[in-house]
């Protein structure tokens, strides 16, 4: 596993953790913040995956 794969995995893990925090939080502002954070982290991970597939030699 190369460095980019590790970074993507970390982003996906942090997104899952943020989603879980949002699900468990009793406070609306915490839920909203963590839902947004999870969405952003998933988006960044997806963009990195797309770049990686476009440029396999860079991986």
Domain count for the chain, please give it: 1
**Does a structural domain hold residue 12?**
yes
The pTM of the full predicted model, rounded to 2 decimals, is 0.86
- Specify the residue for token string 């942090």: 14
Task: Please list the pLDDT of the chain residue by residue as tens digits (59 residues).
Answer: 789 999 999 999 999 999 999 999 999 999 999 999 999 999 999 999 999 988 766 55
CB 48 within 8 A of CB 42: no
**Host domain of residue 20:** 3-53
Half-sphere exposure of 52 (CA within 13 A, CB side): 15
Q: Report if residue 58 sits inside a domain.
A: no
Kindly state whether residue 59 falls inside one of the protein's structural domains. Answer: no
44, part of any domain: yes
């Amino acid at each position: 596993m190369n460095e980019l794969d590790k970074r993507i995995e970390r982003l996906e893990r942090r997104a899952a953790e943020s989603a879980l925090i949002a699900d468990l939080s009793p406070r609306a502002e915490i839920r909203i913040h963590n839902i947004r954070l999870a969405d952003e982290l998933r988006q960044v991970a997806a963009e990195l995956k797309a770049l990686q597939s476009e440029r396999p030699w860079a991986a």
